[in-house]
Structure 1
C-alpha cells in the first residue's frame, strides 16, 4: 500500500494531509507543489461508509456474550481502520 501521488507533478501526498482531508476537510485536498485540486472519488467514499459498519456488525456477532469486550473491540478496530484509511482512499483531480 502506498499513498497517492499527484497526477500532474508526481509529488506524493503525506499521510497527515490525506488523513485530515478525509476526516476534517470535506474530502478535498490540494497538492502543495502544483496546487492541483483533488476530491475523494466515489469508490473511496463507499469504502469510508461501509467498512466501519461491516466491522461493527461482525464484532457484535462475534462477541455478543459480553458487552464490554464488544465495546472495546469495536472501538479499537475502528481506530485501527481509521489510521489505515489514507492508504486506501484515492483522490481524483477536480475538473
Structure 2
C-alpha cells in the first residue's frame, strides 16, 4: 500500500481551521490558535515542520485540507518525494 507524507509548516498557520473541516480525524485547533496535525512528529524544530505518514484511504480528504488552507502551510508528498498537494 502506498504511503504519503503530510507536512505542516505550523508557524505559518493562521488558525482558519479549514483543514479541520475537511479532515477532522487528522487536524485539530490547538490552544495557541494554530492547527495541530494529530499524531504527527516534529521533523524540523528550527522551522516548526510536522509530518504524518498516511495511506491511500486518507489521501483525498487531506488533499482537500491542503487545498483549503488559505496560507498554504500544508503539503503532501508521495513515497518518491514528489509534491502532490
Structure in which a larger fraction of residues adopt helix: 1
Q: Same fold (TM over 0.5)?
A: no
Greater Cα radius of gyration, structure 1 or 2:
1
TM-score range, shorter chain: under 0.3
TM-score, scaled to structure 2: 0.25
TM-score, scaled to structure 1: 0.24
Structure in which a larger fraction of residues adopt strand: 2
